[in-house]
Structure 1
Amino acid sequence: MATDHAPPAPSPGAAEPPLRVLLPQVLPALLVGVVASLLYLGISALAEEFQDVLWDDLPDALGIGGYSSVWMISMLTATGIAVGLVVWKVPGHAGPDPASVGLGGAPLAIGVVPGLLLASTLALAGGVSLGPENPIIASNIALIYWCGHKISPSVPAAAWVVLASAATIGALFGTPVAAALILSEALASRPGSGSLWDRLFAPLVAAGAGALTTQLLAEPTFDMGLPPLDDPGFGDLLAALVITSAAAVFGLASCYLFPYAHVAFRRLRHPMLMLPLGGLALGLLGAVGGHLTLFKGLEEVKELTASIGSWSSGELARMAVVKLVALLVAASCGFRGGRIFPAVFIGSAFGLLAQALVPEVHPAVAVSSGVLGVLLATTRQGWLSLFTGAVLAASPAMLAVLCVATLPAWLIVTGRPQLELDKAGNALR
């Protein structure tokens, strides 16, 4: 005879307990994190070795300055030719048009990955103003989905995509926090069972494994050596509000110009015309802006911030504009690469320009605010932009200032064109 205290029988459609669902995800997520990090580190190491050969060993052997105008123009044009050959001849053509590809996305065919990684490595080593994030994330998604589908066909493709994306972002930034912030924006808008943290559990495991693998093997750092801001005041808040908003407007210029630049290069119709011409343009821009405006930009930011006060406002303005145009050209003509790290350089140069014009502005406020504004405009990733600006400042007190500075900048960029196009070549908003 049943009592009033007997537990109700579970209905046939009752969900499994969260613990029983989450625990089996730990091992696959750990493996995905380690694999994603190893691929990122391997491609980065290969690109750095090749970069040393192209920009140090080879010009030294020829008796030519590695960062002379002649060498920069020649090397970027040659890089355009090499990447053009990959896009033209290698199976898979190095993936879809990068102008219409953001972070993540559906898995590419596995045969596309070798060409995509080769094109990205050549661009990184050759000095193209793009980062590694988009190709590495896309490659990890394709590889992990292919392997996961072979091992466990019943697991939805979306699960492997989220794990691979989180693991790679964790590896890129050396911390799972960036992955958590980016994925929280994406997952919060999707229907699904369970709480947000249930859905973030496996991706965070993957991101943590990727971040720890990167930390153990490469010890990455975003420390720019900026003097810390310990006690921000109203003057710092006002400076952050102005610089972030101005940097957002500056970054939006590239978003408005992106469709036109993309159409101009697409009219050439062939990768052996688009990419060599784009490489030549990047070489000419490098000759104008100097060697700091080449490459993905993170190491160059460290060099830029190591000499605060030694750059004139004219030099900083030139570097910010040249890097912005270089990012626009590289993303439009078909080079494979990401836009986050170049945007960090643009924002840093813009912030230091503001500090050069108004020396009373604290350097940490100037750099973090400039990066925050440009990233908001070019990525439209609010949490990622805020996280990156705060990490560069290396000052907990800056976080509150940047949170407030984000608000007017977001009103400026929201609903505006993004630095990404749809398949028809129209700007996303």
Structure 2
Amino acid sequence: MAEPASDATARGLRDTLRSRGYLRLLLVSALVGVPVSLAAFGFVSLEHELQHWVWESLPEALGMDRAPWWWPLPALLLAGLLLAPIVTRMPGRGGHLPVNGLGGPPTLPRELPSVLLAAFACLPLGTVLGPEAPLMAMGGALALMTVRAAKRAAEPKLGVVLGAAGSTAAISTIFGSPLVAAVMMIEAAGLAGPQLVVLLLPCLLASGVGALVFIGFGHWTGLSIGALSLPSEPPVGLPDAGDFLWGVPVAAGIAAVCVVVQGIAHRTAAFTARRTAVRTVLCAVAVGASITAYALVTGRSPEEAALSGQATLGALAADPQSWPVGALIALIVFKSLAWGVALGSMRGGPIFPAILIGAAFGVMCAGLPGFGSSAGLATGLAAAGAAQTRLPLTSAVLAAVLLGDSATNLVPLLIVAAVTAFVTAELLRGRRRPAMAATTAAAAQQQH
């Protein structure tokens, strides 16, 4: 009599977990979390210090109260000039274009220098991108360094699992929680059953150990660890019917903005596929011009629209009432333009700017009857993440982690917003898929 499929599957999983090779893999994954987290700490701390020097210390040294309106133009020009030779001449070309998301083949160790140089050329100088993609590339490459190239070639699955473990350990540090990284891995992998368990356990071990070391090292040194977080938990009450009624169209609107931005990014990627060096510099200047336009229109600091948006998100969440609607509209428009160009030409992560734009959109709509600022902020965080990453569960969990203990009351709204944004974005992308496929194919030439 044949053994039931479920019993055979369970027995196969137990055999895998008991095998010496898999136990060694778990041990290596746990150990990998330590150097990856230390490298991530060094990367984030240095990037944060450079960013502070460019946008705060240097203007003060020149006798200015803050970065003037024209500051983004020379800063982004320098970023483009530094990035151009990296993406055209170095192995790995600085990493993959952020318009293609966080996925792609693992970064090989020989490609890591170009990824790090591109990140330090772009992020501190004001490119509207986040640090998550370079961190994941660094974590994967460092994990692969623990296994010789010959062994990776002989056992391809070993390289995949270790690369995933290193990337998960790195991303858990910047998201401030190994839970977010684990959920992202589950949702992005698209696996089920024993395959998921075999991949997930090394990733969980690496991310848990990495997050522990990362946070502990930050407290020990007193340096900023740079994790995505809000400076204080916004006051949150129970959402009512009005929050849900407004939350659905607001989430759909945020998804539409993200899809428009991605359309700009795909066209930019096609534009930079030829004459890459010159056009990369032109795109960097265009990013600087968008940030400058924000400063001129609003009279506010250009730093609010530059960079990944982490600091501006904290300021917005801490005191949403201090932001006029006109400033929020300008932030959404000009940061979205800069973000779209940067996604298709620069190097960095695509998630952080999306979260800020979504939060600004949600807070902007908080004046609608029956829709509060806390509900608008929560809707924006979850909707933007889902529309950009195409991972609705990860986005809802990330929004809940950002909102802290008070997020318990908002979990139903977070889920509704994430699902609405995901569905809306997919329907809109379906109408534009032929054009996007053509621009993606052209952009792929830039990576080879």
TM-score (norm 2): 0.83
Give the counterpart of 1:322 among 331, 334, 337.
Answer: 334
Residues 229, 362 of structure 1: 8 Å contact kept:
no
- Once the two structures are TM-superposed, the CA of residue 224 in structure 1 deviates from its matched residue by 4.7
Tell me how far apart the structure 1 counterparts of residues 61 and 419 of structure 2 sit (CA, whole Å). Answer: 52
Change (3 A) 1:41 1:20: same
Q: Residue 126 of structure 2 corresponds to which residue in structure 1?
A: 127
SS in 2 for 1:305: helix
Residues 383, 420 of structure 2: 8 Å contact kept:
no
Residues 293, 322 of structure 1: 8 Å contact kept:
yes
Change (3 A) 1:181 1:416: farther
Give the counterpart of 2:276 among 245, 270, 274.
Answer: 270
SS in 1 for 2:283: helix
Residues 69-80 of structure 1 correspond to what in structure 2 (within 5 A)? 69-80=69-80
Residues 246, 373 of structure 1: 8 Å contact kept:
no
Greater Rg, structure 1 or structure 2? 1
Tell me how far apart the structure 1 counterparts of residues 95 and 198 of structure 2 sit (CA, whole Å). Answer: 33
Tell me how far apart the structure 2 counterparts of residues 409 and 93 of structure 1 sit (CA, whole Å). Answer: 33
Which protein is richer in helix relative to its size?
2
- Once the two structures are TM-superposed, the CA of residue 73 in structure 1 deviates from its matched residue by 1.3
SS in 2 for 1:127: coil
Tell me how far apart the structure 1 counterparts of residues 257 and 245 of structure 2 sit (CA, whole Å). Answer: 18
Q: Residue 30 of structure 2 corresponds to which residue in structure 1?
A: 30
Q: Deviations 1:147-168 (Å, cap 9, x if unpaired)?
A: 3235965552211122122212
Q: Residue 402 of structure 1 corresponds to which residue in structure 2?
A: 414
Residues 149-188 of structure 1 correspond to what in structure 2 (within 5 A)? 149=148, 153=152, 155=155, 156-188=158-190
Q: CA RMSD in A?
A: 2.7
Tell me how far apart the structure 1 counterparts of residues 196 and 82 of structure 2 sit (CA, whole Å). Answer: 44
Tell me how far apart the structure 1 counterparts of residues 99 and 307 of structure 2 sit (CA, whole Å). Answer: 22
Q: Residue 200 of structure 2 corresponds to which residue in structure 1?
A: 200
Residues 244-263 of structure 1 correspond to what in structure 2 (within 5 A)? 244-263=251-270
Tell me how far apart the structure 2 counterparts of residues 313 and 62 of structure 1 sit (CA, whole Å). Answer: 32
TM-score (norm 1): 0.86
2:18 is the alignment partner of 1:20 = yes
Q: Residue 4 of structure 1 corresponds to which residue in structure 2?
A: none
Residues 170, 210 of structure 1: 8 Å contact kept:
yes
- Once the two structures are TM-superposed, the CA of residue 120 in structure 1 deviates from its matched residue by 0.3
Q: Residue 231 of structure 1 corresponds to which residue in structure 2?
A: 238
Tell me how far apart the structure 1 counterparts of residues 66 and 234 of structure 2 sit (CA, whole Å). Answer: 32
Change (3 A) 1:151 1:171: farther
List runs of 5+ in structure 1 lacking aligned partners: 1-9
Q: Which amino acid aligns with 1:122?
A: A
Q: Residue 148 of structure 1 corresponds to which residue in structure 2?
A: 147
Q: Which amino acid aligns with 1:249?
A: A
- Once the two structures are TM-superposed, the CA of residue 259 in structure 1 deviates from its matched residue by 2.1
List runs of 5+ in structure 2 lacking aligned partners: 1-7, 219-224, 295-301
Q: Deviations 1:132-188 (Å, cap 9, x if unpaired)?
A: 111221222123213323596555221112212221221221211112211212334
SS in 2 for 1:137: helix
Tell me how far apart the structure 2 counterparts of residues 253 and 106 of structure 1 sit (CA, whole Å). Answer: 26
Q: Residue 139 of structure 1 corresponds to which residue in structure 2?
A: 138
Q: Structure 1 segments of 4 or more deviating over 6 A? A: 418-421
Tell me how far apart the structure 2 counterparts of residues 370 and 101 of structure 1 sit (CA, whole Å). Answer: 22
Residues 129, 326 of structure 1: 8 Å contact kept:
yes
SS in 1 for 2:146: helix
- Once the two structures are TM-superposed, the CA of residue 226 in structure 1 deviates from its matched residue by 4.5
Q: Residue 392 of structure 2 corresponds to which residue in structure 1?
A: 382
Change (3 A) 1:150 1:264: closer
Residues 129, 342 of structure 1: 8 Å contact kept:
yes
- Once the two structures are TM-superposed, the CA of residue 198 in structure 1 deviates from its matched residue by 4.3
